[in-house]
Amino acid sequence: MDFEGLSGPRGSTVMSHEEYSPALKQEIERYLQTGDHDLYYRAWPEGGMLHRAQMMDSVLRKALIARVQHCAQESSKPLTIPETDFTDLTRTKVVPMVQGLFPQAEREAVVDVLKKSVVFQGSEPFSLHF
């Protein structure tokens, strides 16, 4: 992930991602994976506690924003449904439920209705035509 040109608190310049130490990169990745971080911000290479806290806060926030934006772009790609027999798929999914809820004499009729009633909706908007 690229954090080139990030600015820190009060406009101070944050080093480029390429300048990050391995420990700093590891701390950023740990934060992105778990939400945890070192409370003393020891991965930041310089300054006192307040300075390290301000700089790490800025870097971690911007890394999180960049990761969320990246995930949002990836998730907006349309999903494709593979060619499959949806009637058989529906039957496979609903039979255990029908067996648990309906008496033996009614099961086949309920499954026949359900296997024709399931609708798969993709990301494209749809309208009903009567």
- In the beta sheet, which residues pair with residue 13? 7
Helix/strand/coil for 7: strand
The pTM assigned to this predicted structure is 0.50
CA distance 97 to 46: 61
Specify the higher pLDDT residue, 128 or 17: 17
Is 70 exceeded by the pLDDT of residue 25? yes
Please give the radius of gyration of the chain, using alpha carbons only, rounded to the nearest integer: 26
State the pLDDT at residue 117: 80
pLDDT digits (tens, 9 = 90+) for 76-117: 666 666 667 777 878 888 889 899 999 999 999 998 888 878
| CA atoms within 13 A of residue 126's CA, in its CB half-sphere | 7
The H-assigned helical ranges of 11-103 are: 22-34, 49-75, 86-101
State the pLDDT at residue 122: 61
Contact 45, 91 (CB under 8 A): no
